[in-house]
Structure 1
Amino acid sequence: MGWERPLTCEDFGMKPSDFHEIKESEIPKHTMTFDKHATGAAADQKHYQKAEKEPIEVMQMYFTAQELYGFCKGNALKYILRSRFKGTELKDMEKALQYMKWSVDVLHGVPIDPRK
């Protein structure tokens, strides 16, 4: 694309002061476990199980691999950047992780199955 300069937080409407520095005392010392049913993953949400074809599947049919990869990568970034502000940080990070997995699948040429 030939970007003239690296992106900064200002490009996303943020200031350096908007970022929260994580203190050592804020990092959990125990092993984290997640309730599988509490995730934001498509496979765990009933409303994603109703349609014959999910939007991500339709995108796979009509988008180039590059377009699909960009979509997945962009959605991961969106969930990461907004996660602190909605009160659903864990779910948003799980959704970002789902989109990152799908972006890796695209790079490997593996079809995305939103039901898994």
Structure 2
Amino acid sequence: MSSEESDPVNHPDHYTWLPVEVIEITRHFSFVRGNALKYLLRADFKNNTIEDLKKARWYIDYEIRNLEEQAG
């Protein structure tokens, strides 16, 4: 999608840089894993790459803790 066609509400540039929108990828995962993936995929397209990578890490750490607790 070109910048002239950019739709910041429905199709923001940071979600449309792949041939398929990020939401179409993340919807196949759990909420937690989908959010981690979302932050990884858009990190270079937002104003703060490090912040998005830290958010992705937070969701990954959260998922790991949950899985470890379930395993006993």
TM-score for both structures, normalised by structure 1: 0.35
Is the aligned partner of 1:14 residue 2:24?
no
Gaps of 5+ in 2: 1-15, 20-28
Letter of the 2:18 counterpart: M
Report the counterpart of residue 70 of structure 1 in structure 2.
30
Letter of the 1:78 counterpart: K
- Report the CA distance between 1:13 and its aligned residue: 6.1
TM-score for both structures, normalised by structure 2: 0.55
Bigger relative contact order, structure 1 or 2, given CA contacts below 8 A and separation 6+? 1
Runs of 4+ in 1 over 2 A off after TM superposition: none
Is the aligned partner of 1:109 residue 2:66?
no
Instruction: Determine what percentage of the aligned residue pairs are the same residue.
Output: 35
The structure number with the bigger radius of gyration is 1
Provide the rounded CA distance (Å) in 2 between the counterparts of 1:87 and 1:99.
20
Gaps of 5+ in 1: 1-11, 16-68, 111-116
Aligned residues: 46
Over the residues paired in the alignment, what is the CA RMSD in angstroms? 2.2
Report the counterpart of residue 18 of structure 1 in structure 2.
none
Q: Out of 54, 61, 67, which is 1:94 matched to?
A: 54
- Report the CA distance between 1:85 and its aligned residue: 0.5
